Chain A
Amino acid sequence: MMTEISLNVLDITENSVKAKATLIKITVEADTAKDRLTVTIDDNGCGMTPEQLSKVTDPFFTTRTTRKVGLGVPFFKQSAEMTGGTFDIRSEVGVGTVISASYVLSSIDRMPLGDMVSTMHQLIVMHQQCDFLYSYSYNDRRFTLDTREFRETLGDVPFDVPEVSRFIKDFLKENTEEVNAGQMII
Chain B
Amino acid sequence: MKSLAELQAIRDKMQGQVGLRAESEAGTRVIVGMATCGIASGASPVLNALSEAVMTKNLKDISVVQTGCIGLCQYEPIVEVLEPGKEKVTYIKMNPEKAMEVVEKHLIGGTPIYDYTLQKAMK
Contact = CB atoms under 8 A, between A and B. Distances in A.
Contacts of A18: 68
A14 B10 contact: no
A122 interface: yes
B86 interface: no
B7 A150 contact: yes
A157 B11 contact: yes
B12 to A, nearest CB: 10
A67 B73 contact: yes
A11 B35 CA distance: 7
Interface stretch (A85-93, A95-103, A170-178): A170-178
A125 B63 CA distance: 11
A175 B14 contact: no
Q: Which 9 A-B pairs have the closest CB atoms?
A: A66-B71, A171-B2, A72-B36, A157-B14, A162-B55, A153-B7, A66-B69, A11-B39, A163-B10
Interface of B: 1-2, 4, 6-8, 10-11, 13-15, 20-21, 24, 34-37, 39-40, 44-45, 47-48, 51, 54-55, 58, 63, 65-66, 68-71, 73
